Each structure stands twice: as C-alpha cells, then as structure tokens.
Amino acid sequence: MKIVSITPVEVSALTSSVPLSETEWSAGTHNLGEQRRVGLDLYQVLVSSTTDEPTAGAVADPPTWGLLGKVNRWRMFDGSTLDQTTNADEITVAITPGSIVNAVVFNRLGGGGEIRVWMEDPTDGVVFDETVSLIDNSNVVDFYTYCFEPFQQRFDLAFLNLPPYGAATINAEITATNAACAEMSIGFVREIALTLNGTSVGTVRFGVRRTDAFGRTTFVRRQSVKRVNFEVIGPTASIDRFVRILDNERDQPAVFIGSELYDSLIVFGAYQDFEKTFSGPAYSDGTIRVEGL
C-alpha cells in the first residue's frame, strides 16, 4: 500500500502542448451560451445577454454567468477525475516543480496509444525515461478472445520509481488518436503497509434512475468515481508512522495505490476514514476507506 503526497503544479512551472484555445473575457455584451475564460476558469453566459464580468456575474442574484470548470489545458491538474484534458494525437507537458518528486500518476486516460515519462536534470541530463503501452491485454485469455474481444485500454497508470532530484523537469507525453487525461499527479510516494486479500473495489455513481407511476424507468447516465476499502497489514512498530502519514493527508487529495498492476487500485481521491488494530506484537492490520474525486 503506497500513498503519493501530491505536489501542487504551479502555472509558472508548466508548459503544455495543449493550446489555450478558449476566448479570454473582455468588456462588452455577451449573449446566452457564450463561453469566456478568466485566468484558468471557464464561464458560460446563463441569461439572454449581460455586460457583467464573469466572476461577479457568477455570484450575482440571479447569476448571469456560470462556472463550467477549468480550461482544457488545466483540467488534468484541477483536482478531479471528472473532466479530461483532450488534444488530437498527443498531450505533452513539462513540469519543473522545484522540489523532490519521485512519483507520477495518471488517472482516467483516454485514446489508447502509449505514454512516456522522462525526467531531465540540468546537471545530469536525462535520469529517467520509461514508455508504457496503454493497451490492456488482460481480457485476452484464449484464441477466441484474441481474435474477437474488443481492444481495452489502461485508464490509470503510476510511475513510482523516479530518482529523487530536486531541480529536475518532469516530462510526459501521451500519444493517442484522441489523447485524454483527467488527472496527472506528481509527488512523493511512501509505502505504508502491505495490501491484503479482502480489499474491495466499487464505484460511486452520479447518474439518476427514475421510475414513474406506471413502472417505466429512465436513466440519466453521468460520471462515476472509484470507492475502495483497502485492507492492509504492517509492522506494529510502525503504527505511529502509519497514522501520522494518513493524518497529514486528511481533507485533501492524494493518490492511494494498493497495487500498480490493477487500474482499480490506483485511486486519486481522499480517504473517508481509517483504522489500525493492534493485532499483535509483530504485525497489525487495518482498513483505509478511500473515495475517488
């Protein structure tokens, strides 16, 4: 069981191949449905026309502007896996965090293809370079599935073995027909326990199912996020470290990794609660309940 403490990505530390194509707001009259950006935020007009500035219009009564979220370039750093940064053919980013980072995690990737991560230090040059295919062949179990099973792709991927350089630039390139990424996290990874059998995975759905008085059911399909109950075990002597690390991550996003082998166990989210039981003098087990963001 590993936790990545996330290092925030500053605007000044990022370069991206994704164009800033959204129109910046300027004073004037804006009509219903028009979208304008203010900084990294994207707004849309909610009334027939308005001259309000978007941030002021969003808190007006009634509101004249609505906040849609972040601009396309910044969605992969907005702290949520619900919206994706998208770009034709590829997404390439370079981040210079100015602090030690040894982990890079991607959530809700799209488009298939492959992803390359490399780290370049100003003194030592390229100190890490790894490319991973996003095609998942785990559904191919025999000749029939080899021939007829649709292609599947990996949606979540973690690189947890970057060397700890403090001044390096982290580069990532997602190559795909229609490249997409909902969240890219960089940070410092720590192993806090061993993931046990009995760990359970599921989803929290935001869709709606309605059944009328005649029994007809309609669905409104929306996004979902992961929900995982991690069953873990670790040395009893390390319980204080376990509690301290998790408490430091309270009420904020982190990446929780039960195993890098399974997409469902790579979760960008926040823990709801945790507990560790003093099971014995050598080892103690516990539970961490995590909900995706």
Q: In sequence order, what are the residues at sequence separation of 6 or more whose Cβ sits closer than 8 angstroms to the Cβ of residue 268? A: 81, 105, 107, 183, 185, 253, 254, 255, 292, 293
Q: How many CB atoms neighbour CB 148 within 10 A? A: 7
Query: What are 49-92's pLDDT values in tens digits?
Result: 999 999 999 999 999 999 999 999 999 999 999 999 999 989 99
**What is the average pLDDT score of the chain?**
92
Q: What is the predicted pLDDT for the residue at 144?
A: 81
Distance, in Å, from the CA atom of 250 to the CA atom of 241, rounded to the nearest integer, reads: 15
Burial 60-76 (b: 16+ CB within 10 A, else e): eeebbbebeebbbbbbb
User: Which one-letter amino acid corresponds to residue 70?
Assistant: K
pLDDT of 286 higher than 90: yes
Would you place residue 136 in the very low, low, confident or very high pLDDT band (cuts 50, 70, 90)? confident
Q: Is the pLDDT of residue 198 over 90?
A: yes
**pLDDT at residue 176 in the model:** 87
Give yes or no for a contact between 66 and 44, defined as CB atoms under 8 angstroms apart. yes
Kindly state the average pLDDT of the residues 139-157: 81
Cis bond upstream, residue 122 (ω within 30): no
Closest among 194, 126, 193, 135 to 162, alpha carbons compared: 126
Mean local confidence (pLDDT), 164-190? 94
Quote the DSSP letter at residue 11: G
Domain limits, the chain: 9-19+76-188, 30-70, 194-292
Q: Model's pTM, two decimal places? A: 0.88
**CA-CA-CA-CA torsion sign (206, 207, 212, 217):** negative
Name which of 121-125, 148-152, 286-290 the model is least confident about: 148-152
Residue pLDDT, tens place only, 16-37:
999 999 999 999 999 999 999 9
pLDDT score recorded for residue 79 = 92
Would you state the CATH architecture of domain 9-19+76-188? Sandwich (2.60)
* E-only strand ranges, 73-124: 85-95, 103-110, 114-121
Q: Return the pLDDT at 160.
A: 95
Residue 145's pLDDT is what? 80
pLDDT cut 70: percent of the chain above it: 100
